[in-house]
Structure 1
């Protein structure tokens, strides 16, 4: 375009944006975003760790609480199982752990370690019962009954202990021999802890004349002699016997003698008593 003499158009100038500046700005923004993301991750990680630690602490405290409750209950069970030591009337021997049957003047003494849940004990009683009664009634044999709770320990439950306590309650009334026999004659299968039930033990007491009284029922239900039973079983364990029954005639283990029979036992006792 002609603007006249001496005049010219000024050249057009285009201002381009500074690309390097934009790149720097973009990089700066990206760095900030990355830094923010990292900070977010660090915060999340801290929170996660805090939760794990908190859960661990709660778990430990919960476990400690459970252990404490179990320990406390175990202590209570021990107290319920034993209680104050009360031996049965007329008990003899060290710590009063022997229930005697027969005359003290008898020349022979038969010591019988038994468990009322023990099938082998029932077999022994069924085979030797009449012979033992004959010899004790004749004043030739004294029997020292000592009670254990071996089956409770092996099979679980409390029938051995509860039956032994009930037998001790019968001893208080002078009816131990008869009730002892009734328990074996009505022994449940080894895996059946029926003797753990007080009602069952009281029901069987009706088979013994004069035993089913309020005092007997209270003795059975309260576990009056449980502590005595526990101590008797401890004596059995300390004796390191092979099992129940353990039958000693004047200290000699005759139950392990395969040649022993009721007739042979009678012969041995009568020979010592002079016929």
Structure 2
């Protein structure tokens, strides 16, 4: 009788141990699922957070300046959406980028995709259209979005938009620091772009020459149904943070452009100003 009880006890112990192992496996599987889910939510949450910012962007951003709209040299406008073009004008694909120079997510996008965009532009596969917004000013106060956008438009007048645009994002201050609201800071950064820091550029920055043009661009952003910045569209289709079921990445951007350009000749026209 005692041997039977002993056998039953051993089986019970083994069963409890097996059950414990199964529970541990289940917990580990759940932990892995949560980790993967968190990573996905982290990517998608970026757009969601920025979208919340945009939703509150109807506050006065300080960009609604009265006065004539003075577009920067070479700027374009289609369907009431002012833009600064870069790349070869006859490139078969167009990347429309809606950005705010104070937006941290915009800096993350630019710093991750800058080289890829420049490479695609250089080969004539892609041209870009930069639309400037000032939603961070409207949500957090200050004028850094507006002042930086005007300075970038002034750089476009000098044919140095791309270099200055990249410099602003590389040197972007924290979102809560309105350093770009100071013209002296914007002029200081212009010294990093050879040939940009001229009396004409300084005058354009200090006079707010393109403030009303920036305000018009921001109004187009507010009326465009965008969820936030950056909003990135390839040939009119949103690709940030994903296109269909694929997450955006430098490799996927190249693939999507190649697919869109299949059977089309690369652009050969002189690069757009900037």
Q: Give the TM-score, by structure 1 length.
A: 0.69
Deviations 1:83-118 (A, max 9, x none): 321010001123571100011211110000000000
Q: Which residue of 2 aligns with 1:247?
A: 232
**Superposition CA RMSD, Å:** 1.8
In 2, the alpha carbon distance for the partners of 1:227 and 1:253 equals 27
| Structure 1 residues 80 and 143: alpha-carbon distance in aligned structure 2, compared to 1, 3 A threshold | closer
Q: Equivalent of 1:217, from 180, 202, 226?
A: 202
Q: Which moved further from structure 2: 185-194 or 87-96?
A: 87-96
In 2, the alpha carbon distance for the partners of 1:262 and 1:154 equals 30
In 2, the alpha carbon distance for the partners of 1:143 and 1:209 equals 23
Deviations 1:169-203 (A, max 9, x none): 00001100000000000000000000010000000
Q: Which residue of 1 aligns with 2:71?
A: 87
| Secondary structure, counterpart of 1:271 in structure 2 | helix
Q: Is the 8 A contact 1:114 1:246 kept in 2?
A: yes
Q: Is the 8 A contact 1:87 1:96 kept in 2?
A: no
Q: Which residue of 1 aligns with 2:116?
A: 131
Q: Equivalent of 1:116, from 89, 96, 101?
A: 101
Q: Which residue of 2 aligns with 1:230?
A: 215
Q: Give the TM-score, by structure 2 length.
A: 0.70
Deviations 1:192-230 (A, max 9, x none): 000010000000000001100000000000000000000
Whose helix fraction is larger, Structure 1's or Structure 2's? Answer: 1
Deviations 1:155-175 (A, max 9, x none): 001000000000000000110
Gaps of 5+ in 2: 1-60, 264-274
Q: Give yes or no for the alignment of 1:192 onto 2:177.
A: yes
Q: Is the 8 A contact 1:148 1:236 kept in 2?
A: yes
Alignment of 1:50-61 (within 5 A): none
In 2, the alpha carbon distance for the partners of 1:144 and 1:79 equals 21
Gaps of 5+ in 1: 1-76
| Structure 1 residues 96 and 151: alpha-carbon distance in aligned structure 2, compared to 1, 3 A threshold | closer
Question: Would you identify which runs of 4 or more consecutive aligned residues in structure 1 move more than 4 Å?
Answer: 77-80
Q: Which residue of 2 aligns with 1:182?
A: 167
Report the CA distance between 1:256 and its aligned residue: 2.9
Higher CA-based Rg:
1
| Structure 1 residues 79 and 109: alpha-carbon distance in aligned structure 2, compared to 1, 3 A threshold | closer
In 2, the alpha carbon distance for the partners of 1:105 and 1:79 equals 32
Q: For this pair of structures, how many residues does the alignment match? A: 199
Q: Give yes or no for the alignment of 1:259 onto 2:243.
A: no
Q: Which residue of 1 aligns with 2:258?
A: 270
Q: Equivalent of 1:170, from 155, 178, 183?
A: 155
Alignment of 1:71-82 (within 5 A): 81-82=65-66
Q: Give yes or no for the alignment of 1:145 onto 2:130.
A: yes
